[in-house]
Structure 1
Amino acid sequence: MTFSGAELGLAWAAPFAGLLLSIAVMPLAAPGVWHHHFGKIAAAWAALLLVPFAATFGLGATGGVVLHTVIEEYLPFTVLLAALYTTAGGIYIRGNLHGSPTLNVGLMGLGAVLASFMGTTGASMLLIRPLIRANDNRLHNAHVVVFFIFIVSNVGGSLTPLGDPPLFLGFLQGVSFFWTAGHLWPETLFLLAGLLGVFWLLDSWLYRKEGVTRADPTPDTPTLGLEGAINLLPLAAAIGFVLLSGTWKPGVVLDVFGTPLPLQALVRDLGLVAVTVVSLAITPAGVRAKNQFSWAPMQEVAKLFMAIFLTMVPVIAMLKAGAAGVFAPVAAMLSGAHGEPSPMAYFWLAGGLSSVLDNAPTYLAFFNLAGGDAQRLMGEGATVLAAISGGSVFMGAMTYIGNAPNFMVKAIAEDRGVKMPSFGGYLLWSGAVLLPLLWVMSWIWMR
């Protein structure tokens, strides 16, 4: 790319802000229009960035930005989500679980453990359907999905690079595989215990208050079990391809119209496409129908995040410019009174921006603001790196767009008839429940 974030003004962030506002307001203010035209609306905001960008920096630079965004960010993001969504959607947990508070806590705890091994997306896609099915006779069930997003789609993925995309980016930058597990486990356990405890109290109160629930639309079956368990093999292969791309460094880099494409990234992405195709081919007939599997959530995420990735390009560039850009006050806030880096500031700023920007590129921006040297950050800068990692992962749960699984879980839940909170309604939940826990956690560990 031939432009610098230092030369961009705040106006370049307007399309991104407009897109966020559309996602927040339109599903509530004009649900019919949004449901039928969200792809066009997202494309319009992307065009509002790209047209003046081309006029200012030229078609060549604009084409480079689009290619870079698609090849290095959007396609890897989308093919990984598609592989995990497809494989997990081909596994059906047979049996009608009954959504008591204890069962719900158990499923969320299991999901939190799985999230650091199979990714927040994989764990979310595997367990969200049985959780919804278990609670489909409850009068109040939206809160179950909200806490699931907090716990399984975000906090649970904080311990390994396989867990959440920001940590995988750190792994690619040289952070050791088990470094995060060694430095974030107390914070992770604190948040998980707090969230599960608050959920159990709330769910127990609602469960008692409901009394007789609605007729259960899911028939009881004599035994629990897995159908489509063959999909555990392509799911494992997907995890393997992701891990391979971070450990295998052949040193071969392809040039795709000026955008570098390392061989390991190409192998990973082609492998993930193959995983998706194989999963579709080997899934036993009827399993996806039992899961009420549809492509609608994946299509929604794919369309919206294409626009999100494009419109946030100038925002990330301005952040990376640090003291030389319009976000110089943000860079100044990252240091203490004597110029030393402030872990508390890194945690809240990286986390706060991860709430509204995709948390993976936000992590990378603050990783670079902290110096970008993985060896130094794992040593003398360990507290700062832990703050960046924790902020990016934990606060990805603050909004629907902070982390990709959030939006996918919301879309699946709504597809199954759950009346999920609006963008602002979800923010009230995260502000009331997650934010106080994050404040206490940061006061204990991020000072």
Structure 2
Amino acid sequence: MMRTRPLKVALLGCGVVGSEVARIMTTHADDLAQRIGAPLELAGVAVRRPSKVRDGIDPSLVTTDATALVKRGDIDVVVEVIGGIEPARSLITTAFEHGASVVSANKALLAQDGAALHAVAEEHGRDLYYEAAVAGAIPLIRPLRESLAGDKVNRVLGIVNGTTNFILDKMDSTGAGYQEALDEATALGYAEADPTADVEGFDAAAKAAILAGIAFHTRVRLDDVYREGMAEVTSADFASAKNMGCTIKLLAICERAQDGGSVTARVHPAMIPLSHPLASVRGAYNAVFVESDAAGQLMFYGPGAGGSPTASAVLGDLVAVCRNRLNGTTGPGESAYAALTVSPMGDVVTRYHISLDVADKPGVLAQVATVFAEHGVSIDTVRQHGRQDGDGEASLVVVTHRASDASLTGTVEALRKLDTVRGVASIMRVEGE
């Protein structure tokens, strides 16, 4: 039966995502009411610039006092889409304390303080949902948290930032350099004026922390995630990748150790075989590949950002939270019972592609091979060719078997000390095999 008294929603932020959430709440009001069992009422919208015209939003609902809005006491659900750490953290905590559940798209805050926010939500018997914090419209948090709750997830491997995927795809498909591809992404609106959060991997690292925590039932914070940006990826790296039947993606990788006692989370550029499903993810799209004991391999694919896709995920959470509200229940909270150790990057085991500039003379290959052997890193293939400019240098590309990151780091440090090695041009991990 339909309840006539509406559930009141407070919206914190009315930018690209927030305005789309408000629009969908209005245009789909009847459908949403039927799905929830009660109508929704937009009870207030907190913004920084109240004078800005916002189509479809009653100006009387607009306020600059977000704290007063979440303290009202009659708000059922607060939707937080302002981003950042503060004031979002304080507003969410205050919302719980005054009886509201929360739907958030704030990946940075959840990666840093998710455990504390979950604790406050549990203390006050309220929901904290955040599907929109990772991979936009792609249903990912709920499948990991609910659909795979009876399974054991071993690995989550994904492209979780559309800006970086657009840039790398452009470099791969057209031969463009990094800066040229970044400029195009900026012109098309895929990259911000300051793209640091995307291209240096901060955005993906926050998402990796959230995914690892849910997948492995272990608290993983942003500081636990190893991060490398992609500004050093070159056209030569793509040429080498193609010679190996690979392409290059910026990947978020969360995996359980083989002994099951620890986990790792990392973000960095990597070569992946063209046969891997993630290799075919083009443009600004996202995709996440999940490997588990019983379900096997699953892939989730779709638009990972933008107003409408992100709003879709927010509204999905809003419906779920409102249903819980009507039923007097709450959905799944934090699951951190496993409390596995989060291992450092040095413990990660994978393959590597190393490109060296070396002296073009006999015996160099033997010296390089000796350094690899001394550090316990087994060589799979070697490719060497002289430079056409006749400067007495050659390029040497070494692809290894699986080895620990610590062993590889020691190997590279030793290689740099060889007189015959003029420089380490590139180091890239090889994943997905």
Shorter-chain TM-score range: under 0.3
Greater helix content: 1
More strand by share: 2
Please, what TM-score do these two structures have when normalized by structure 2? 0.23
Q: TM-score, normalised by structure 1?
A: 0.22
Q: RCO greater where, 1 or 2, for CA within 8 Å and sep 6 or more?
A: 1
The structure with the larger Rg is 2
